[in-house]
Structure 1
Amino acid sequence: MKNPALLPVLVLASVAACAGGRPAADTIVTNARVYTGNPARPRAEAVAVKDGRILFVGPAKEALRHKGAATAVVDAGGRLVLPGFMDSHVHFVSGSLNLARIDLAGTKTVEEIQARIRAHVAANPGTGWVQGRGWMYPAFPGNMPHKALLDAVVPDRPAFMRCADGHSSWVNSKALALAGVDRATGDPPNGRIVRDEKGEPTGALLEEASSLVAKFIPEPTPEETLAALRVGLEEAARRGVVRVHGLGGEFEALDLFARLRDEGALTVRMTVAMWVDEPGPDEADWKAYDEARAEYNGEWLAVDGVKLMLDGVIDSGTGAMLDPYEGQKENKGKLFWAPEDYMKAVAAFNARGIQVSTHSIGDAAIRLSLDAYEAGQRADAGRDVRNKIEHAEDIAASDIPRFGRLGVIGSFQPFHANPEPGWIGSWIAHAGPEREQRAFAWRAVLDGGGRLAFGSDWPVVTIDPWPALQVAVTRRDLDGRPEGGWLPQHKVTLAEAVHAYTLGGAYAMHREKDEGSLEAGKLADLIILSQDIFAVDPLRISKTEVVLTMVGGRIVRDAR
């Protein structure tokens, strides 16, 4: 007769190991077409997972040898399995809050914009602020909105509609009056109140001028923000995003992310940068960063690096350019930092081994960033800081090779290059024909030895990576226009684009040893797709749905 006292030990042993002494997996994903992202073994049939990490990647028969009594087997149904995607530029708090506001994304006419606002107001009566986001300049006469168009649908409540790019706002007369903004109000240092021929504000506010009104909008409570973050996490999991680089708003909400982490509700890994404004870090900034870095440094939530904002956007003529905007002889945009302050700040951060991510869109801002990063290399004492340039939408030809030479990461958002006229029209008009030729030059940066990390800048565009992936490989809008692609010399291959969303993102966040590809020992972050993006017409990539998302071996979305 067996000793009853030994039965629990025998059961545990059968669960923990399989025949031949192999460790038993917690989960095995099999009957799959696995694209590993690992050049040494690019394809596989199955993935075995244990304790949140990948135990085995390879043939299904061998993977099933890790099946124990308690192993869950996920039948992928012959579908494509990829490493989970990383979004290398998000604003997760504002993106999550925006999900409950008026969505103006994709609108092409004033009438369409007004219809969406009107429907929201009818469904949400009251006296409070009406907020939305997503309009783009070409929808309006003269490429700029006017308060009269908003007054027509919201006459009795303050209304605040952010442009998709986040750099301009459109407000109604009620909002201007509440904020006390009138013809006597001066422009802030890094912003402009658009005015009519009589000097009256038109309701369009550029860059920091938006804050003149935005500061009167009540801040959401912590509980409201937490509720929004839960919805945002669901959205990210639905789209197959497993890690994000938070570059504005997340640092101030670290306590809320920590609360979600401690509840086991944080289903997206977070790398968080601290935002620093001109003239650069003071003692309070250093203290805040050091304390946050010491407290938040785990696999799920980590503070790593800083974010600097160097210029505006080309669409509204606020991006810093080397030469005047097309048809605007006096306008080269503006740097938001004094160059000497910016250079000093980058050197100070790099000297402490801190990564700098700089918003630089115009060619003048990009050049200054490259100059500062080159100087920063002399200060970093060989530390592997991996500085990033965010957006880099119009790089001067002579500066393109510097990305590779200096080891600077090009952090691009492919869907920002969507060539749909309602989205890109103002950009092209302001840049002019010569500068247009180097728009969103992903291919040139890559060919010059540079590294790419792809993302969204959510809520500028959707966090959904699949439309962006389609644009990256076709340079055509979602309707397939223009034939042959807009500046097709800048498109990348599908394998290169997937790399920029996986290992490229992991490298940019100093996570490539643990994440970004499906290899034994790495964290078990993977997705199962509805279609094989390597086999379908590239113009159908945007139709991809995520069937299953796994993060750390835990299934956080299952739509099978």
Structure 2
Amino acid sequence: MLPADLILINARIMTMDGAVPRAEALAVRNGRILALGSAADMRALASGATRVIDAGGRLVLPGFQDTHIHLQDSGQDYSQNADLTDARTPDDIVSTLAAFAKTHARAWVNGTGWYSGIFHTGNLDRHLLDRAVPDRPCLIVASDGHNACLNSLGCQAVGLTSATPDPQNGSFVRDADGEPTGMLYENAIMWAEARMPRPSDADFAEGVKWAQALAHRNGITGVLDARVEERHVRVYRALEAAGELTLRVAATALVNAFDTTDGAVERLTGFRASAGGERFKVHSAKFFLDGVIENRTAAMIAPYSDAEGGNAPLMFTPGQINEMFTALDAARFQIHVHAIGDLAVRAALDGCEAARRVNGDWPSLHQIAHIQFIDPADIPRFHKLGVMANVQPLWARSEPSVTDVAVPMVGNDRSRWIYAFRSLLDAGAAMALSSDWGVSTLNPFQIIETAVTRQPPVAEGKVPPFLPEERITRAEAIAGYTTGAAAAAWRSADTGTLSPGKCADLIILDRDILTCPAHDIGDTQVVATLVDGEVVHGAV
């Protein structure tokens, strides 16, 4: 056997491989795991040129993979625009934007990350933003990406007036006189951004590099960018060609309601053919079937239960869903669906069932992301249809967007099935855990903690768990970031476990997240992250 390039010793390796679940050392050659075993066995594979890493007795896991993230867009947003994540009052938005505007001379002032569980049409409009930015156009986008707000000069710059019709699957909020308030919902954001100066490819490339460094600091070695178009593909391809892509990036390409089925298949087929490298691929089709509960665009089976009532339609007709899912499934694309309301979840399952009926079963692992609401009758259908639940557990806790917005809007009976992760697993559903960053943190340890506790961090005060019967175990959560995530990204052959022959993607942690107090999991620090046996984070 040829000597190892790298050996890792003095480790508590959890391989996630049932054949060899634990080891104390491993060896790497040419970026792949050569062998696992005792330190003595691995030292026997070393030569004078072999690098030795002493893990100090720490826990070692396969590299985590985040299979629903907006890496390129959020990287550019958070690295180059005003960060409104910590804003909790209208005055916070004003002060943060005003301070940012003083240090940036761009034609527009842009902000990102405001929390739609707190800010809404009652306390956010163009007049508030005029206080912060009176001299230039301004656009701020919520962390969820489904809500945004323009200031008055921004409305003028994009040509938004009382006579502007709403775009398909989007709306402009208007006051009692029919004048735009500046608030934008869903595709109205895309309408506005198409009329604004856009960042350059170089800006987005720098955003990717900033974001992948953040991902590596958090133990992430692979991602699935959950909404890409031609520009995203172009930027990722250029980074890979330049050798600057240290993350494994799979991508899900956006399909719009105004697309034809043949046009969508042709476009995605072109993307896939142009992006088949070692670090970047396009393998799935992204559908937004509804919006979000906070702006009342989540599609529910029954109308909302609060005094305002009403409902939201699906963003694609059932006929479109069945036809497009079937055609893309036949072309061997994975389907990746944004579904918040229980009607959207059901429509996605119906579309997957229609495709399976025509094309037969194959290991697609079509995915439904978010699943904030689900009718209990649909829970067993995930296993039956081979559909994966791609969930974001950080949201499954008592906080304003859930307890103050979602629960009153849907009522107590339907609230029982908010983020029903335990029920899905018990019904045999495959599951991947993810962040949806920049909607919320990409830190997987904070997300795992919430999945296990259904509570915010202790530092935020004592808060009762939200639907504690829907907690999942630590082992299940780790699987959701390793074996489940690798399957979701179609990378199981090479990643997800620390097994001989697979890529040497691994992380070393400062604590054992399987045994430490549950409320300490979120404080975990990543000592080192390796991709293909190369250290991309840490000093080891």
TM-score by length of 1: 0.92
What CA deviation, in whole Å up to 9, does each residue of 1:103-133 have, x standing for no partner? 1124322222222222212222x35111111
Establish whether residue 223 from structure 1 lines up as the match of residue 223 from structure 2.
no
Q: Output the amino acid matched with 1:73.
A: V
Q: 1:503 — aligned with what?
A: 483
Cα offset, 1:463, TM superposition: 2.1
Q: Is residue 214 from structure 1 mapped to residue 184 from structure 2 by the alignment?
A: no
Q: 56, 71, 77: which one pairs with 1:98?
A: 77
- 1:530-549 aligned at under 5 Å gives the runs 530-549=510-529
Task: Output aligned runs, 1:111-510, within 5 Å.
Answer: 111-124=91-104, 126=105, 128-140=107-119, 145-249=124-228, 252-328=231-307, 330-421=309-400, 425-479=404-458, 483-510=463-490
In structure 1, how many angstroms separate the alpha carbons of the residues matched to 2:240 and 2:353? 37
Structure-2-length-normalised TM-score: 0.95
- Would you say the 8 A contact 1:272–1:304 is kept in 2? yes
1:533 maps to amino acid: I
Shift of 1:32: 1.2
Instruction: Measure how far apart 1:559 and its partner are.
Output: 3.8
Please give the secondary structure, in 1, of the residue aligned with 2:44: helix
2:21 — aligned with what?
42
- The alignment covers a number of residue pairs equal to 538
Deviation (angstroms), 1:405: 1.4
Distance, in Å, in 1 between the alignment partners of 2:532 and 2:230 is: 23
Distance 1:274 1:441 in 2: 27
State how far apart, in whole Å, the 2-side matches of 1:135 and 1:238 are.
24
8 Å CA contact 1:417–1:424 kept in 2: the answer is no
1:510 is aligned with what amino acid? Answer: W
Q: 1:522 aligns with which of 488, 496, 502?
A: 502
Question: How far off its partner does 1:483 sit?
Answer: 4.1
Q: Cα distance, 1:70 vs. partner?
A: 0.9
Q: How many Å separate the matches in 2 of 1:250 and 1:222? A: 13
Contact 1:471 1:477 in 2 (8 A): yes
Secondary structure of the equivalent of 2:496?
A: coil
* SS of equivalent to 2:380: helix
* CA spacing shift, 1:275–1:212, aligned 2, 3 Å: closer
**What amino acid maps onto 1:209 in structure 2?**
A
The answer as to whether partners of 1:504 and 1:516 remain within 8 angstroms in 2 is yes
Contact 1:82-1:526 within 8 A present in 2 as well: yes
Q: CA deviation at 1:416?
A: 2.8
Once the two structures are TM-superposed, the CA of residue 534 in structure 1 deviates from its matched residue by 1.8
Equivalent pair of 1:351/1:381 in contact (CA under 8 Å):
no
- Once the two structures are superposed, residues 429-477 of structure 1 have per-residue CA deviations (whole angstroms, 9 ceiling, x without a partner) of 3233222211111111100000111111121112221211111111111
2:204 partner letter: T
How many Å apart are 1:330 and its aligned residue? 4.9
SS at match of 2:457: coil
Q: Are the aligned partners of 1:314 and 1:431 in contact in 2 as well (CA < 8 Å)?
A: no
- Aligned twin of 1:109: 89
Aligned residues of 1:81 and 1:526 also touching (Cα < 8 A): yes
Distance change in 2, residues 1:106/1:38 (3 Å): farther
Distance 1:34 1:444, change over 3 A: same
User: Structure 2 vs 1, CA of residues 251 and 31 (structure 1 numbering), >3 Å: closer, same or farther?
Assistant: farther
Shift of 1:138: 3.8
State whether residues 417 and 475 of structure 1, in contact with CA within 8 Å, keep that contact through their aligned partners in structure 2: yes
Paired letter, 2:179: E
Counterpart amino acid of residue 522 in structure 2:
S
SS in 2 for 1:137: coil
SS at match of 2:296: coil
Using the alignment, how far apart are the partners of 1:386 and 1:434 within structure 2?
30
Distance 1:251 1:553, change over 3 A: farther
1:469-524 deviation per Cα after TM superposition (whole angstroms, max 9, x unaligned): 11111111123655441111111101100100110011112221221011111111
Shift of 1:297: 2.4
Which residues of structure 1 form unaligned runs of 5+?
A: 1-21
Query: For the structure 1 residues 43 and 131, does the alpha-carbon distance in structure 2 shift closer, same or farther, using more than 3 Å as the test?
Result: same
